[in-house]
Structure 1
Amino acid sequence: MDRLIFHIDVNSAYLSWSAVENLKNGSSVDLREIPAIIGGDMASRHGIVLAKSIPAKAYKITTGEPVAHALQKYPKLVIVPPNHQLYSEYSHRLMELLKTFSPIIEQVSIDECYMDFTDYIKDYPDPVTAATQIKDTVRNTFGFTVNVGISNNKLLAKMASDFQKPDKVHTLFPKEVPGKMWPLPVRDLFMVGKSAAATLEKLEILTIGDLAHMDIAILESHMKSHGRLIWEFANGIDDSPVQAEESELKGVGNSTTLSRDAETSADAKKVLRGLCDQVASRLKKYGQLAGMISTEIKYATFTNVSHQRQLPNVTDDAATLYHYACLLFDELWNGEPIRLLGVRTSKLTTEPEPIQMSLFDLPKTQREIKADKAAEELRKRFGDEVIKKGFP
């Protein structure tokens, strides 16, 4: 079975995270929608550009250039100083969310990671659908966007995630390399820096395709082992594994932004049913039982509230999760229109603990057990939406 690797990259991370935080604190201006940068400060005009908005890019402002130069290009540029503690917090929260889709994650910087999805694609119709769900869940949960690149290895997944931005999913499988990657300038290839690009251009190697078809002996004579490495990359060759940190899965959850605001308890609880069904399916996939559940509400005013409670018994049962998610919802909801709903579980374990059973937790009949197994098999084959339980 071929590997399936996703590369997830936050779009203009520092600027996006600062923009989201400003909006949460009541700002009426989204930094992502105006010419703005992260770096230095307005008073000193010192430092370099750490991140830029798309409107700032239109003025040819580039990451890494001095702030003073950026101001010469556009004097009305909005400059926001970096907040590294904030960025670290958003990065941590992002990685914890991504681990609910696949725990095999290699974080390579504060705003990007590789995910090995090989063992988890069976729960989705296809890789693009899975990646799109990940991308949309990040946007709906946090308010910032990511690009997801899809391939059979890390190199091609990373190259794919750098295609058109923001908030996009792109594939770059080996068969797509000639059409999608080879026409690109050689400087766009991962691991080809300014010095390497200058050397390649002297050899009249201008595109990644030129590099892929170059005699490797000539490359090694000019660039030694680095010549072989970038030749392999130009040909889409990369066997490096996703090196996940050894850490336990801490939580499994899901959330969704509603196409229309929910204005009644009944409408909201219909959404909670589907979320609990999906969360239960993932718990089963990971072989986990949840000991804690939380319900999240985002109102139409963008105010967030959430509440959690200990479950009486650890479980992966959708009906049980739904029962307690509704109890939490009833405690939380103030009657205002709802924009987003989320259900998350934590305190995961692989083994049930000795418990005092309640009437709510009576053992299932053989018919119920068989029905659950049949439903789970259908979801694995055709996706989460193919069948849903009718909860009380």
Structure 2
Amino acid sequence: MLIIHGIVLAKSIPAKKYGIVTGESLLEARQKCPDIVIVPPNYNLYMNCSNAMVSIFKEYFPVIQRYSVDECFLDYTNMNKHFGSPIQFAHHIKEQIYKELGFTVNIGISNNKLLSKMASDFEKPHKVHTLYPYEIEEKMWPLPVGDLFMVGRATKAKLHKLGIYTIGELAKTDRNLLYSHMRSHGYLIHDYANGLESSSVKSASPKAKGIGNSTTISFDVEDARTAKLILLSLTETVCMRLRDSNMLAKVISINIKSKDFISMSHQIQLSQATDITNNIYISICKLFDEAWDKEPIRHLGVRVSMLTSNVNTQLSLFDCEKYEKLTALDESIDKIRNRYGRTSVIRASFLHSGIRPLNGGMPTEDYPVMSSIL
């Protein structure tokens, strides 16, 4: 008997036709399509492709906003005189990306970010779509309400209870009725259903408020030791990024999802901000012991926030010596890993455990295909 664990992080266009959706278990996906091909994710590959695509954008655009690993907003204001109409240029850059990088992109065009994003999700792949305000009624309103940005599963269920099944029906619904059931989120999705959104394209990323890592586990974790090993592997990568950013964290939090994907979170505020892996992991274990309800676990996350600069850190006399030793240890390990590879130094507890010593974020696998792209 074949047992499949994990969830669908993204589905291909053919898989979508079988009713496979993001977030469902791989077992459910296999039941819908027995011949489905399941490919493990590799964040490093995605980021390399994303960076290569952005490099092409930088040849043309002064303002680029990276929205996610595979989405960007580009401001075409005053660009017509250089590259022609938005539609003409969209076809040009779409073909350039395919020719130089080997993958396809969909491009959505409109006068605001919401409508351009909605347009980019129309028929795929390798297409250019427009969704200007005068096209909303024809192109967007007939779509299922769940296709609207910011309408997730829970919101969709609430809307269905109100008899709202299409984006057009949502657009014509009384705002006060939506507010009474969903508070301010009702106003937001009503605006979106009518194509109303006014944020500008911003190239500068906001200052990070926190650093986190998480992983979906390929099996049910039913014991604390295994869970804490996975949490340690996540803490290792989070703390390396924290030190690389020259920041300290004062708030530590964890997220646990059961095999039924019921989520619970727990956090603690430290008396002293830190970037030391050992100190943060001690807090992580304490949070886990307080939060876990003994239900089998399928997803774990670690996050640090309330970040401050590590310059001029104030310590008590009694903490100073221990702090210096642990800091020196972390710095030495970071230098070795950066020079010889992320797994060149690992903790003995991971030996023969079957658990990756540094989890989440960017895996270390090499993909030779990238050498022909970048």
TM-score of the two chains, using structure 2 as the length reference: 0.52
- TM-fit CA distance, 1:44: 6.6
Correspondence 1:77 to 2:36: yes
The residue type equivalent to 1:157 in the other structure is S
Q: 1:121 aligns with which of 80, 84, 87?
A: 80
**Partner residue in 2 for 1:348:** none
The residue type equivalent to 2:150 in the other structure is M
Matches within 5 A, 1:97-108: 97-108=56-67
Q: 2:190 aligns with which of 225, 231, 237?
A: 231
- Cα RMSD (Å): 2.7
**Partner residue in 1 for 2:71:** 112
- TM-fit CA distance, 1:51: 2.7
| Equivalent residues of 1:185, 1:206 under 8 A apart | yes
Q: 1:96 aligns with which of 42, 46, 55?
A: 55
The residue type equivalent to 1:120 in the other structure is M
- TM-fit CA distance, 1:194: 1.6
Of 48-57 and 177-186, deviating more is: 48-57
- TM-fit CA distance, 1:94: 1.2
Unaligned runs of 5+ in 2: 206-368
Correspondence 1:179 to 2:138: yes
| Equivalent residues of 2:101, 2:373 under 8 A apart | no
Correspondence 1:61 to 2:20: yes
Return the alpha-carbon distance in structure 2 between the equivalents of residues 217 and 237 of structure 1. 17
Distance 1:223 1:56, change over 3 A: closer
**Partner residue in 2 for 1:200:** 159
- TM-fit CA distance, 1:112: 0.6
- TM-fit CA distance, 1:55: 3.1
Distance 1:150 1:303, change over 3 A: closer
| Equivalent residues of 1:101, 1:134 under 8 A apart | no
| Equivalent residues of 2:4, 2:27 under 8 A apart | yes
TM-score of the two chains, using structure 1 as the length reference: 0.50
The residue type equivalent to 1:137 in the other structure is Q
Deviations 1:241-274 (A, max 9, x none): 111127xxxxxxxxxxxxxxxxxxxxxxxxxxxx
| Equivalent residues of 1:184, 1:207 under 8 A apart | yes
- TM-fit CA distance, 1:128: 0.8
- TM-fit CA distance, 1:219: 1.6
Q: 1:241 aligns with which of 184, 190, 200?
A: 200
Return the alpha-carbon distance in structure 2 between the equivalents of residues 44 and 82 of structure 1. 19
- TM-fit CA distance, 1:303: 12
Deviations 1:214-263 (A, max 9, x none): 221222222111111111111111110111127xxxxxxxxxxxxxxxxx
Distance 1:304 1:183, change over 3 A: same
- TM-fit CA distance, 1:62: 2.8
Deviations 1:347-389 (A, max 9, x none): xxxxxxxxxxxxxxxxxxxxxxxxxxxxxxxxxxxxxxxxxxx
Unaligned runs of 5+ in 1: 1-42, 247-301, 308-392
**Partner residue in 2 for 1:258:** none
- TM-fit CA distance, 1:72: 2.8
Matches within 5 A, 1:165-314: 165-245=124-204
- TM-fit CA distance, 1:305: 7.7
Return the alpha-carbon distance in structure 2 between the equivalents of residues 306 and 147 of structure 1. 20
- TM-fit CA distance, 1:202: 2.1
Correspondence 1:45 to 2:4: yes
- TM-fit CA distance, 1:54: 3.0
Question: What secondary structure sits across from 1:52 in the alignment?
Answer: coil
Percent identity, aligned pairs only? 52
Pairs aligned (count) = 212
Return the alpha-carbon distance in structure 2 between the equivalents of residues 70 and 230 of structure 1. 30
| Equivalent residues of 2:48, 2:370 under 8 A apart | no
- TM-fit CA distance, 1:120: 1.4
